[in-house]
Amino acid sequence: MKRIKAVGLFALTSLASAMASAAEPVGHDITYARDVAPIIQDNCQICHQPGQIGPMSFTSYEEVRPWAPLIAMKVKERSMPPYQYDMDVGVQHLKDDWRMSEEDINTIVDWVYAGSPLGDPADMPEPKQYPPIGEWRLAAELGEPDHVIRSEKWDVPATGQDLWWEPEVDSGITESRCIKAVETLPSAAAHGSTHHANSHFLVKNEQGEWVAGSRLSEFAFGKLGEKVPAGACRKVPVDSKVKWSIHYYPDGKAVEDDQVSVAIWYYDETDDFDEATAYPQDLRLYALEGGGDYLIPPHGKLITQGMHSFDHPVRIDSWQPHLHLRGVAMSMEVFDPATGRRETISQVSNWSAGWNHSHTYEDGFQPLIPAGATIILNAWFDNSAANPLNPDPDQWVGAGQRTTDEMSHAWIAVTHLDDAGYEKLVQEQKEREQRTVSSTGAR
């Protein structure tokens, strides 16, 4: 698995100059204003702007130009934009896919080879507006949320060790409806110290006791949110509570009365959605085997594996790996004992704990798992100095909740099907593949 090491800006500039002098002439006039600025807007500025998490701003040519060699290297190596999903393994049709196209990457690289010219300022696109930290990012697409639930207030210290805040709050939900999307939002003040924030419903059993119900949301640093496809229904329970599990890791800034919020958007009459025919969906944590008792030796490596099967067919709607600082990769496979076939569904070979993404498959491309088949999760860990995110390769590392411990699980959104629904979806996928073959002339 390839890792990118830090390189000085001077070295990068010298390297880019050498490559430019040796490169073949570009067949057309590539400029920042006409060709590169739209790519930077669509792929970089959401983080690289004043007040956001990018270490430098890319909102103008003057800001981008000094970093052009580094940008070219990062996009060519696909370490930026930070979306850890392999390009040549498993399902490639994803919603909200941050990966840049080869065409856009080549445009940036060719622009750097050409000397990073500005071009005609009149060709510059209009400035793009982005939601600031502390506002709902899904609101631009879905409008304001239908319902918001907030944790109880908590004082986050400036310094210290990992902290956990696990309050229970009333959900305020009075009607059972199907979730269209959900987004968990740390406060703007504690954005950097909120490591994760998970939430699940509490409901009353027949004895009137509060017990754990379905999961509401999972947030880890870098994640956007979760969307539920139209053929599935993840319902909210009425008269329920929400149990929070919020993990803070102090980042040098104290925050008083901090609150984490979760927003819910519901399917309604304006959507192409029929609750009567929708199949139930849930978000589950699937732990890998040995998830509670493994140890990674100093300068050592480890592979863990976990398996899960269903007694009914299911559809996988999204997959979100979760590891910590020694984690470097995870894959999800499916083994069908009826056919003996084992296939990789998705893989991340350059995991980074700084970016947690829920990889959501496009409608019609979701993996379909027959009854009795087994989902296999594999995770790789590197506790050596070769891992650039490893804070101390001399330490033994065990499984645990702290940032410096390790985790080995995945969040998977599963739609539970019956035989008829499964066969219908399989047939639709086959017909789509046949249309693709016919339109492309592929053999």
* Residues 306-360 pLDDT 10s: 999 999 999 999 999 999 999 999 999 999 999 999 999 999 998 888 788 889 9
Percent of the chain at pLDDT > 90 equals 68
Q: In this structure, are residues 297 and 316 in contact, taking their beta carbons and an 8 Å threshold? A: no
Residue 299 sits in the same domain as residue 249: no
Mean pLDDT across 197-205? 94
**Does the residue 359 lie in any domain?**
yes
The whole-number pLDDT of residue 442 equals 54
Mean pLDDT across 236-262? 94
Distance of CA 225 to the CA centre of its chain: 8
- Categorize the per-residue pLDDT at 53 as very low, low, confident or very high, splitting at 50, 70 and 90: confident
Residue 236 sits in the same domain as residue 363: no
Is pLDDT above 80 for 271? Answer: yes
Could you give the CA distance from residue 41 to residue 47 in angstroms, rounded to a whole number? 10
CATH at residue 306: 2.60.120.230
Residue 72 sits in the same domain as residue 100: yes
Helix (H), strand (E) at residue 424: helix 419-440
| Residue at token pair 């500039």 | 13
Instruction: Indicate the residue among 123, 142, 157 that finishes a domain.
Output: 123
The whole-number pLDDT of residue 440 equals 64
Mean pLDDT across 287-299? 77
**Does the residue 206 lie in any domain?**
yes
Q: Which domain holds residue 196?
A: 134-273
Distances in whole angstroms, Cα of residue 417 to Cα of each of 170, 224, 278, 339: 31, 27, 9, 20
Q: DSSP for 289-300?
A: TTTTT-EE-TT-
- Categorize the per-residue pLDDT at 289 as very low, low, confident or very high, splitting at 50, 70 and 90: low
Residue 223 sits in the same domain as residue 320: no
Residue 54 sits in the same domain as residue 196: no
The whole-number pLDDT of residue 10 equals 30
| Domains: count for the chain | 3
Residue 306 sits in the same domain as residue 257: no
**Does the residue 2 lie in any domain?**
no
The whole-number pLDDT of residue 332 equals 96
pTM of the model: 0.82
Is pLDDT above 60 for 362? Answer: yes
The whole-number pLDDT of residue 140 equals 87
Is pLDDT above 90 for 267? Answer: yes
The whole-number pLDDT of residue 297 equals 96
**Does the residue 195 lie in any domain?**
yes
**Does the residue 338 lie in any domain?**
yes
Could you give the CA distance from residue 177 to residue 416 in angstroms, rounded to a whole number? 18
Q: In this structure, are residues 114 and 16 in contact, taking their beta carbons and an 8 Å threshold? A: no
Residue 216 sits in the same domain as residue 248: yes
Residue 143 sits in the same domain as residue 102: no
Residue 118 sits in the same domain as residue 157: no
Which pair of tokens denotes residue 208? 């009137």
pLDDT in tens, 158-179: 999 889 999 999 999 999 999 9
Among 193, 217, 194, 212, which Cα is nearest to 202's?
Answer: 212
**Mean pLDDT score of the chain:** 88
Q: In this structure, are residues 407 and 272 in contact, taking their beta carbons and an 8 Å threshold? A: no
| Residue at token pair 């499916």 | 334
Q: In this structure, are residues 216 and 181 in contact, taking their beta carbons and an 8 Å threshold? A: no
**Does the residue 40 lie in any domain?**
yes
Angle at 220 between CA 217 and CA 343, to 5 degrees: 85
Instruction: Indicate the residue among 64, 89, 123 that finishes a domain.
Output: 123
Residue 162 sits in the same domain as residue 184: yes
Residues 6+ apart with CB under 8 A from 401: 162, 164, 247
At position 270, the amino acid (one-letter code) is: T
Q: Is 38 exposed, middle or buried (0-12, 13-18, 19+ CB in 10 A)?
A: middle
The whole-number pLDDT of residue 219 equals 87
Distance of CA 102 to the CA centre of its chain: 21
Instruction: Indicate the residue among 93, 123, 153 that finishes a domain.
Output: 123
353 or 222, greater pLDDT: 353
pLDDT in tens, 73-104: 999 988 898 888 999 999 999 998 889 999 99
Residue 325 sits in the same domain as residue 367: yes
The whole-number pLDDT of residue 233 equals 96
The whole-number pLDDT of residue 8 equals 35
**Does the residue 128 lie in any domain?**
no
The whole-number pLDDT of residue 7 equals 34
Is pLDDT above 90 for 293? Answer: no
Mean pLDDT across 224-244? 93
Residue 389 sits in the same domain as residue 316: yes
The whole-number pLDDT of residue 423 equals 96
**Does the residue 3 lie in any domain?**
no
Percent of the chain at pLDDT > 70 equals 92
Is pLDDT above 70 for 200? Answer: yes
